[in-house]
Structure 1
Amino acid sequence: MKAGEILVIDLFAGPGGLGEGISSCTTGSGIKPFDIGISVEKEPSAHKTLTTRAFFRKVANNPVARSDYYEYVRGNLSRDELFSSYPEKAAAAFEETLHEPRALGEHNDQIHQRIRDLVEEHKGFKVVIGGPPCQAYSLAGRSRNAGIQDYKAEDDQRHFLYKEYLQVISIAQPEVFVMENVRGILSAKVDGKVMFPQILDDLKQPGKVTDTEGILGYKIYSLVVDAETPENPSYAKSSDFLIRSELYGIPQARHRVILLGVREDINGIPTTLDKAEQYPVTVKSVLNDLPPLRSGFSKLKDDGEEWARIIALHEKRLNKIFKQSNKVELVDELNLTPLLGLPRKSTEHSNINEALIPEPLKSWLLDEELGYVLNHDTRGHMVKDLLRYAFCSAYAQLNNGISPKSKDFPQELAPAHANWNTGAHADRFRVQSANKEATTVTSHISKDGHYFVHYDPRQCRSLTVREAARLQTFPDNYLFEGNRTQQYVQVGNAVPPFLAKQIANVVLKLLSDI
């Protein structure tokens, strides 16, 4: 297999998680056969991230250019200065991401023409990757939709964005495609009918759906369950397509549907993913080497000494609360004393040698040349929420990593929410426990930190963008552009790159054996 022999067409790319993992795949001799020809993304900040990363990939083997990239992410060089120093590589990065945000369904003329050009120029294998936006399929999205007056699923075009994916398959006719989506796609309904079987049928015959003649069909494989009849794959249940990421070395219980389509003329049966030798990969093992930080205040002037004073008051209240619980014998083991002198932002990675991350994830995440921590600053929280965060972190320490439900909170810490005691939002506050894998990192992290409380009560805060990115397995040198809220959204919507790399290995083996 030669370098760049496999053309990758990346749709609904987000900040590039799926593309990052696939393009990083190497052969045994170190060759990178996957080459991203086009990445399509409509959200401006994600598109900027995507373009920056495309540039980095193109200059990564040039020590001088790589050093200049580090100067950019450290804030010592502007993006324009960086790109103007390497105009050919910058131009190629912009061409890869279509120069500006683009959306399938809105800019099809430009997108489809670019894909046609790439397919005509490329003489090797082709792979289409991507996950159509999932808001209409996700359980949370469906809950929101149910509250919209006169909402009809059959009128929500987001249910049918996968057909844009089919249109690209009909144009590119790739040997393989990889399609990712939320687990809610397995149960989503339109007109009372579960959509997933129809989606599978459509993916098997894209030409029929797009009314394009001469298009070969596809066999749809699971990446985690062996097909009952490999030559003509079928599966006992829809959930056989569900990947539980924590079983594959991802420090997060991210459960996603990922379909592997293989063109019917390809003689080969894909393997399934190998489970990680060590799992779960815990939150603490992935985050412990990052600089400790304190939170800020959302409605008070930021002041480190005032923060320490308030957290110290919380320490006294929590000690009293826990001594009244049935865990009184363990309370003395708690250390809730606030860490003094903490900043809200730190770029110093002085603890990199103390990283507990197991291999091979450690080598994937860390970049010892970088010497800097990107996107690692905290948001502000309400004082009362900081007390609840500290309670959550301490409770998990006393209860083997279990995060408290609303029923576990003392009345004095209960928020003024009408549904607090109904059970509807029993886990409104949730700690990411030190000794477990994280729960699913979602774009909700951009709204508040209640579901993403740091395990250390002495820092008393929610996760930073970099910590969320670590749990999503983005390499430390992966810069997220845009403001902090936009960065959180990008991370929450992404595919874990380290999982994508493993999927790429399956695809590479299949194509290499042809």
Structure 2
Amino acid sequence: MDARVPPIVADPAVARKLQRLAEGKAPRVLDLFSGCGGISLGFTKAGFSIAAAMEIDELAARSHALNFHAADPDMLEQHAKPRDVTRIEPEDLCAELGLGSVEESIDVIVGGPPCQAYARVGRAKLREVAEHPDAFKVDPRGNLYLRYLAYVRAFRPLALLMENVPDILHYGGHNVVEEIVETLDGYGYDARYSLINSAFHGVPQMRDRVFLVAYRRDLGIRPTFPKASHHMTLPPGYAGTRAVALRFVDLLGGAGYVQADLGNESLPFPVTAFEAIGDMPPIRGDSVKRGARRFGPDTFTPYRSTNALSAYAAAMRQWPGFEGQGGVVDHAIRALPRDGGIFAAMPEGAEYPEAHRVATRLFEEEAARRGITRRMKAWAELEAEMVPPYDPSKFPNRWWKLRRDFPVRTLMAHIGKDTYSHIHYDPKQARTISVREAARLQSFPDGFRFAGTMNPAFRQIGNAVPPMMANALARVMKEALDGAALRLAPPR
């Protein structure tokens, strides 16, 4: 062991990592299941360095590389390469990217295995993988989650962050996160988790996600979570969903659970949809033609001139390293010629049943104007042309029109297929949100680039962790790691 390291840190590799941080160097992050880089961006802003990422989707992997490794043209293509975490060993990743030794190259691991990987893994399987890192190969249901554990075991990071959907708290009648806490305890980590809504942390979106934070036990850090910067009373649907998600936390004792800080009425109301996207240039929905949307210099849209730029919009325009440069290149929307009139007539906050009623009314008015009656063949033809075909009793939440005075609902990967879940509040524009507006609502700054065309860009955004939420967590982790480094490493 290095003679300069106090005996409290018995692991030489860990001691050297702490010494490096004590010298003021940025903690190095490995982002597993990185997507386009929402977590990476939040951690970069907090003073971390993104050493590497692993992402199987080709376009998401390229987006990550373009935003975090463009400064190194010689290595850009290596970082942009899609990688399957189940097929690449830690030592191979380090060799490909020139990271150095596995044990000393990474300080923090972040990421969230896709939720399907958690189903019915169970305590016995977690104990098995803790003892045998290759055990993930025998159970394809748990591949991704168990592989994440194998990477933690190999890299021995000082800390880790894991993110997932609230359902992870009650998969198959058990709390999988509590089992993760137990497994990490066997690895020598102190882990805690919380259910946090991003609207309480500066994101204009009511997005509930589970976050687990863990530190090596020999650092002496008890995991904590960020204090709320905003406050609201969540709508009844969110309260009910949270109650369902947390019922097994109480049932199983919840030894690792930490109640999220919700602030109080002295804090500002969350960022609203208008504050987030109200400054974006207007687009009339009926002006858009069908076809693929590609982004580049020829799609540059100058910012809308306004004297009432919100603090949030200004932050998205001016994020250091990701500035908007006077406008955006991906303010593109889907062509939905049937639905413009419906969008315009829907009240803010309305869902699909109301949209269906509006469409039916507009259709009947048009039929009367044309003199078409129910007995005519033209009646059914016009109805099919103007009224969405989905049963409103079966798809109540399929559509939703933003409220300009409220944060928006959760953006999900499904916006890669359609954006009816986020219809613009402005009746004059009569459209769904654009790629850049989706990015704004997810707290991606205007200079962040998404590889591919419109649909893949939407999917990358919906899959991401909001960078501002990640940043709130990263700031807490950075402070804890800096404190541990100064406490455990010798004076300079």
SS at match of 2:29: strand
- 1:29-428 aligned at under 5 Å gives the runs 32=47, 34-56=48-70, 58=71, 89-95=72-78, 97=79, 99-108=80-89, 111-114=92-95, 118=99, 120=101, 126-135=107-116, 157=140, 159-189=142-172, 193-205=174-186, 216-222=187-193, 241-276=194-229, 277-296=267-286, 347-351=301-305, 354-358=308-312, 361=315, 365=319, 370-383=325-338, 385-392=339-346, 395-396=347-348, 402-406=349-353, 409-410=357-358, 411-412=360-361, 415=387, 417=389, 419-420=391-392, 422=393, 424-428=394-398
8 Å CA contact retained: 2:331, 2:435: yes
Which residue of the other structure, out of 16, 20, 35, is the alignment partner of 1:14? 35
Instruction: Tell me what 2:252 maps to.
Output: none
Shift of the 289–164 alpha-carbon distance from structure 1 to 2, 3 Å rule, reads same
Number of residue pairs aligned between Structure 1 and Structure 2: 378
Distance 1:377 1:494, change over 3 A: same
What's the offset of the Cα at 1:135?
A: 4.9
1:24 maps to 2:45: yes
Deviations 1:3-54 (A, max 9, x none): 54311111111001101110121xxxxxx3x221111111111111111112
Q: Deviation digits for residues 368-409 of structure 1, max 9, x if unmatched?
A: 6711213111211132x22222222xx12xxxxx32451573
Partner of 2:258: none
Shift of 1:472: 0.7
Residue type at the aligned position of 1:14: G
More displaced, 364-373 or 283-292? 364-373
Q: Distance in 1 between matches of 2:66 and 2:118?
A: 30
Q: What is the aligned-residue identity percentage?
A: 29
Per-residue deviation, 1:500: 1.2
Query: How has the CA–CA distance of structure 1 residues 4 and 360 changed in structure 2, closer, same or farther, with 3 Å as cutoff?
Result: farther
Contact preservation (8 Å) 2:91, 2:101: no
Deviations 1:269-308 (A, max 9, x none): 3442121142310010111111111225899899xxxxxx
Q: 1:501 to 1:364 in 2, by over 3 A?
A: farther
* Contact 1:112–1:171, Cα closer than 8 Å, also in 2: no
Matches of 1:301 and 1:505, distance apart in 2: 42
The amino acid that maps onto 1:15 is C
Which of 26, 34, 44 is the aligned partner of 1:5?
26
- Do the aligned residues in 1 keep the contact of 2:190 with 2:222 (CA within 8 Å)? no
Partner SS state of residue 302, structure 2: coil
Q: Pairwise CA RMSD of aligned residues? A: 3.3
AA of the residue aligned to 1:134:
C
Whether contact under 8 Å (2:316, 2:323) holds in the other structure is no
| Match among 466, 472, 488 for residue 458 of structure 2 | 488
- Distance in 2 (alpha carbons) for counterparts of 1:484 and 1:284: 23
In structure 2, how many angstroms separate the alpha carbons of the residues matched to 1:243 and 1:301?
Answer: 38
* 2:247 corresponding residue in structure 1: none
Q: Secondary structure at the match of 2:428?
A: coil
Q: Which runs of 5+ in 1 are unaligned?
A: 26-31, 59-88, 139-154, 206-215, 223-240, 303-343, 397-401
TM-score calculated relative to the size of structure 1: 0.66
- 121 and 448 in structure 1: CA distance in 2 versus 1, 3 angstrom threshold: closer
Which AA in structure 2 matches 1:412? R
1:363 and 1:429, CA in 2 relative to 1: closer, same or farther beyond 3 A? closer
Q: What secondary structure does 1:469 align onto?
A: helix
Mapped contact 2:290–2:334 kept (Cα < 8 A): no
- Listed as ranges, the gaps of 5+ residues in structure 2 are 1-21, 120-137, 230-266, 293-297, 363-385, 485-492
